[in-house]
Chain A
Amino acid sequence: MDAKVIKQEGQTLKIVGTSPVRPDGTPKVTGLARYGADFALPGMLWGAILRSPHAHARIRAIDTSKARALPGVKAVITAEDFPEQKFEFVGPERVAVNFWHMTRNVMAREKVLYEGHAVAAVAATSKAIAEEALRLIEVDYEPLPHVIDVDAAMQPDAPLLFEDMITRGIDPPPGKPSNIAKRIEFNIGDLDAGFAAADEIVEMSFKTAPVHQGYIEPHACLARFDSNGQGELWSASQGHFVVRAFTARLLNMNIGDVLVHPAEIGGGFGGKTVIYVEPLAAALSRKSGHPVKIMMSREDVFKATGPTSGSSMTVRIGVKKDGTLVAADGVFKFQAGAFPGSPVMNATMCGFAPYDIPNVRSVGYDVVSNRPKSAAYRAPGSPISAFAVESVMDAVAARIGMDPLKFRLLNACKTGTPTVWGPKHAHDGYAETIKAVLAHPAYAAPLGKNQGRGVASGFWFNNGGESSATVHVNEDGTVVVATGSMDIGGSRASMAIMAAETLGIEYDDVRAIVADTASIGYTHVTGGSRVTFATGIAVVEACKKVIVELCARAAMIWKLEPGEVVWENGCAKPAGAAAGKFEPMPLKAVAAKRALTGGPIGAEASVNAGGAAPGFATELCDVEVDPETGSVKILRFVVAQDVGRAIHRSYVEGQLEGGVVQGIGWALNEAYIYDDAGHLLNAGFLDYRIPVASDLPMIETVLVEVPNPNHPYGVKGAGEVNIVPAMAAVANAINNAISRRLTDLPMSPPKVLAAIHSGRKG
């Protein structure tokens, strides 16, 4: 709550920027909120999933006869229950999906590709019978050699996950298959000339571990089917429209025949933008004729749902003595998991994006290996390349003897700076975050023994896209705002604030809800920090339509022309020639007369919002390193982020704090530990160490507000970029404390202690 706000320009707003009580708070605190696992129906069966014990194996045969014969078992499914999908990548390259892959990830076909890969599922009258049935399914596996690490997976003799996979993005295509699904390259300027002109060049290589999103709620859903083939799902996701589209596609149904109810969600961070249990529950329900519920365990979540990629990276940066960046080269190799589709393209785009560098090459490889398919995680890809780039930036600043923040400020991108992927930056905001940290008292605070300070910055695109909202004026003048955006970060509060502000009414008079897929227009996932921006625009647009209608109704009551009435401070008011003729009429009074003036008042707006503005963040971290154990304590952490405008202040602060905390976990402890057979050894929160509260200081947030002119209230999206600089900030702080450069995440105590013992200097 100690956030500092840096305002860029005045705009008199009454509710935007305050922190009213969140509408979803009480049900969550009192345990009444209904999450994915909280739904039940009469006649409901329990679904259970049989998972692969092998990291890599061919499925010779599956015999489900004994399971089907077990009393209480109502349906057993395997990949045969799902239609084959066409092999093609659909959608924009950065987020393309391939249903041939998706159906195989949801249910293994020819092969199992990771431990925990689903091979069959059953529905039975009790959980215990379902579990028993799984034990009766006989799968004949031919175990195959496996590969976990990304560099090992790229070796020419590595075991192949897909025997016919030819790397995309290389011209001419390679003659031999490999685990490299795709190569991408972006260039600007002349790289060789750039490095030739450099006074100093720093090159380093890095490795990062895949990390899980760590949401508290395991995936869960309930599915039911009508005898006419129409299905209904209750599931916790980051986008029920996407759940609907994917499930319909995998079951070969019309989208209109699937209805998805949004359950309350217990965290997602990107990991619930994809489906796992939904098509299985739906297929079991269709086959059995009963409602079917499936809940993952935490172990299932770790073994079979997406983390973000691990990586192997090399970054080289060239600089002039005066601090001007002249060239940068990055090679980013990302683990996609068992199917192509790591966020490496984002990584190649975001890594150098904060800087004005005339000569850049950024190369990415998307590499499959025998671990769960990666899924989106908070600014997917960007934190990984930022760890490498911002570590090298730190070393470059040290090499030329420049303050690391002033070095960044000197080279900071601004409106008009070219990007490696083509278009020029269209927004400012980065420099402002650097200045905010430079001016923060933490930057000048003294450090004690074994302590160190690090800074780092980051970039994230932020998205717009398709959103829908309706605004209905109730009989008593209160208002219901419905959107299609799953609320994972407090969007109901933000939508209510924007609606109240636009309509000129009280926050408490607006009720914001998330509508199901049949009750509102298509709305894309809650991801990419897009909801407050894009869905917010839809809400404001719908409110404006309602205002037009309210003015028309008032005009009708006053017998004026619609053009003679304006909306001001929540009231209709005669204007122009009619000004002063009548007392302003509040919304409640207009609502009371709705029946006489044409009936219910409401409006819907659907948008495909362009004009999203990127997020920039600059962070400062102080650490203390125990020189005898390698333990790193985070003493202080400051995050300055350009949020455009904070709609619900404390919610936005919470986003910044949360992103930083996840970044600290990524930096210090989180990793998947595999044995030699490719089995995951730490599929639980005991040994997969996300930070606990006592590991952390209060995160100090600075909300920098450089408004986005493309949003009615200046929103830029605040959910993601906060995680981007965090690992590099921690690594740079550790380097400052012990003069050792750690390049391999996580920077766990054994690694830090080994670095202290080694002669390697940063």
Chain B
Amino acid sequence: MNEILYETPQTLESAVALLAGASGQARVLAGGTDLLIQMRAGRVMPGLLVDIKGIPEMTAIVAESGGFRFGAAATCMELIEHEAFAKEWPGVTDAVKLIGSIQVKGRATVGGNLCNASPAADSVPALIAAGAVARIVGPGGKREARVEDIPVGPGKTSLADGEIVISFYLPPRSARSGDAYLRFTPRTEMDIAVVGAGVNLTLDETGICNQARVSLGAVAERALLVPEAAAALIGTKVDDDALQRLAAAASAACRPIADKRGTREFRIEVAGVLARRAAGIALDRARRNS
């Protein structure tokens, strides 16, 4: 029967001040599609909720230095429906589209997806593959961090107490590049990834891959950036051989648990399959983007 204080700051400064001044447990509230469920289940019982959806920097989606910056509290639907963004980052968009249902996406945010720190979060491997950088604010001021450095384990992030993720920056999309994200779930929707795989790659003029990033979800305590898997692609035409080596490297990087959603062997094997298939889609997109 504890009381919950609910605040709706309109600026980053007041949000940071509210979190810093909280006496008990305080939580940032974005869409609430993770947090409210955890509260109802009695897993977290915050005394203060700081709803950050009223802060303009946190909900805007804007072009910046040839790339995109989107607010951590922009809803998934707003992101999906942003045509220019979806055109540049089809893989990130596919990942965001997979989150829950339309109703859930009308509330859910990418910031929440990342900061909830589920190893199975769908948008995270896609963002890592895309090379996304998060802008963070806290009692110590602003800083930037790569997305892969934020989740550290189930439910745990590298954010310091009172820190808020403001926005994400995606670098300019180079010619002949493309990204893709695939996940495996027993059901076609309303499910949690058993394995997720994001791939972002760039081809040179002769069709040889000169840059690649590969990220896997749900196969370790957090989403993984897998440079070995990317290395299997770089310098190749992303032919069957390279894709097989990518799959093997992806599987080798997995250190999953066996749980109610899948056995270890299954996750390891399917991670390779999905990484290979995602690379195939990214390749296709890169070839069309010239």
Contact = CB atoms under 8 A, between A and B. Distances in A.
Interface in A282-340: none
A668 B191 CA distance: 15
Given A129-B1, A681-B260, A682-B260, A669 B188 contact: no
Interface in A662-718: 668-669, 673, 681-682, 686-687, 689, 691-692, 694-695
A254 interface: no
Contacts of A629: 184, 270, 273
A679 B235 CA distance: 51
Given A128-B1, A132-B1, A687-B261, A668 B190 contact: no
B182 to A, nearest CB: 10
A669 B186 contact: yes
Interface in B179-197: 184, 186-192, 194
B269 interface: yes
| Secondary structure type dominating chain A contacts | loop
Interface string A82-124: 0000000000000000000000000000000000000000000
Nearest to A671: B260
Contact of A692 (B184, B189, B194): B189
B262 interface: yes
B266 interface: yes
Nearest to B270: A629
Contact of B186 (A628, A681, A748): A748
A687 B194 CA distance: 11
A749 B266 contact: yes
A750 B260 contact: no
A687 B261 CA distance: 7
B260 A673 contact: yes
A474 interface: no
A753 interface: yes
B269 A753 contact: yes
B269 A749 contact: no
A694 B186 contact: no
B158 interface: no
A269 B260 CA distance: 26
B11 interface: no
A691 B187 contact: yes
A631 B266 contact: no
Interface size class on chain B is: 20 to 34
A740 to B, nearest CB: 16
A668 B186 contact: yes
A689 B184 CA distance: 14
Contacts of A631: 184, 186
Interface in B257-290: 259-263, 265-266, 269-270, 273
Contacts of B270: 628-629, 749, 753
Contacts of B186: 631, 668-669, 689, 748-749
A628 B271 CA distance: 11
Interface in A638-682: 668-669, 673, 681-682
Contact of A628 (B1, B192, B263, B273): B273
Nearest to A749: B186
A530 B194 CA distance: 42
A316 B245 CA distance: 47
A132 B187 CA distance: 37
Interface string A734-748: 000000000000001
5 smallest beta-carbon distances between A and B, as pairs: A750-B266, A694-B188, A673-B260, A628-B273, A128-B1
Given A128-B1, A749-B270, A753-B269, 10 more contacts: A129-B1, A132-B1, A669-B187, A686-B191, A692-B187, A692-B190, A695-B188, A749-B186, A749-B194, A750-B265
Interface of A: 128-129, 132, 628-631, 668-669, 673, 681-682, 686-687, 689, 691-692, 694-695, 748-750, 753
30 contacts: A128-B1, A132-B1, A628-B270, A628-B273, A629-B184, A629-B270, A629-B273, A630-B266, A631-B184, A673-B260, A681-B260, A686-B190, A686-B191, A686-B192, A687-B261, A689-B186, A689-B187, A691-B187, A692-B187, A694-B189, A748-B186, A749-B184, A749-B186, A749-B194, A749-B262, A749-B266, A749-B270, A750-B265, A753-B269, A753-B270
Interface of B: 1, 184, 186-192, 194, 259-263, 265-266, 269-270, 273
